[in-house]
Amino acid sequence: MNTLELVTLEEERAVQAFLLREARLLDEDRWDDWLLMVSERIHYWMPGIENRRREDARGGFNAEHMALFDDGYRELQRRVARFKQPSAWAEDPPTRNVHLISNIEVYAGENPGEYRAFSCFVNVRSRGLDEQYQIAGRREDVLCREGDGLKLLSRRILIPNATLPCKNINTFL
């Protein structure tokens, strides 16, 4: 495990603000604004979780396994494009989201101008009159400086569920 190097309070505050703003944009269905926070070099990864025994060297997830997200920028753009279609029937009336972000830890990244950020999330979605879905998980992000601000360069999302307790994930986490 690499040693984790703390950053200045100012930098830490900037990263926290980034993560919280990102959550707010998602809750407000501002997908295009959200995409602006994402680097075009993004790897946005949420592996499927396997329920394997402890001695199994494969572990609970790996890069070869099917994923829920294993996206580059083009894939994220395509997902956003669907959300925005008038014929996205399952988004109309809209899904209402709350993204709670917590347990934020900010450290220096591998390269200059990069940050490594750990966080937890609880996403609560409601649809229709009474549908409610909750997914919680842990994220590990790399943020980088691009242009005049921070961008999301990579994200790994781990949920504890080996079976998704709902029919889909029609949001970003």
Partner 1 sequence: MMDKPTTTLKAIESTPPLADLDRICDMQEGRMAGKIFWDSEIYEQELEKIFARCWLFVAHESQIPEPGDYVATTLGEDEVLVVRQKDRSIKVLINACPHRGNKVCFAEAGNARGFICNYHGWAFGPDGALRGMHESGVYEQSGFDKSRQGLREARVDSYKGLVFATFAADAPSLADYLGPMTWYLDVILDNDEGGTEFIGGCIRSTYECNWKIAAENFVGDILHAGWTHDSAAQAMLGGSVTKVSELPESYQVNWNGHGYEFARDLVGNAAVLGESAINKYLHLHSPKAAERLGEFRARMLGAVSSFTVFPNFSFLPGQNTVRVWQPRGPNKIELYTWVIVNRNAPAEVKEKWRRGAMMTFSPTGVFEMDDGENWEYCTKTSRGKVTRYQDLYVGLGMNSRLSDTELPGNVFRGQLNEANARAYYQRWKDLLQARTWAEVPDRNGKLD
Q: Which residues bind partner 1 (CB under 8 A)?
A: 46, 48, 50-53, 56, 64-71, 75, 78-79, 81-82, 85-91, 162-170
Question: Considering beta carbons, is residue 91 or 105 the nearer one to partner 1?
Answer: 91
Using alpha carbons only, what angle is made at residue 39 by residues 102 and 152, rounded to the nearest 5 degrees? 15
Question: Considering beta carbons, is residue 16 or 161 the nearer one to partner 1?
Answer: 161
Beta bridge partners of 80: none
CB of 166 to partner 1, least distance (A): 6
Residue 144 to residue 57: CA distance in whole angstroms: 33
Question: Considering beta carbons, is residue 90 or 100 the nearer one to partner 1?
Answer: 90
CB of 140 to partner 1, least distance (A): 19
CB of 146 to partner 1, least distance (A): 25
Residue 69 to residue 121: CA distance in whole angstroms: 16
Question: Considering beta carbons, is residue 47 or 109 the nearer one to partner 1?
Answer: 47
DSSP 40-105: EEEEEEEEPP----TT-TT-S--TTS-EEEEE-HHHHHHHHHHHH-TT-GGGSSPPEEEEEEEEEE
Q: Do residues 26 and 171 lie in contact, with contact meaning Cβ atoms separated by under 8 Å?
A: yes
CB of 94 to partner 1, least distance (A): 13
CB of 107 to partner 1, least distance (A): 29
Question: Considering beta carbons, is residue 2 or 163 the nearer one to partner 1?
Answer: 163
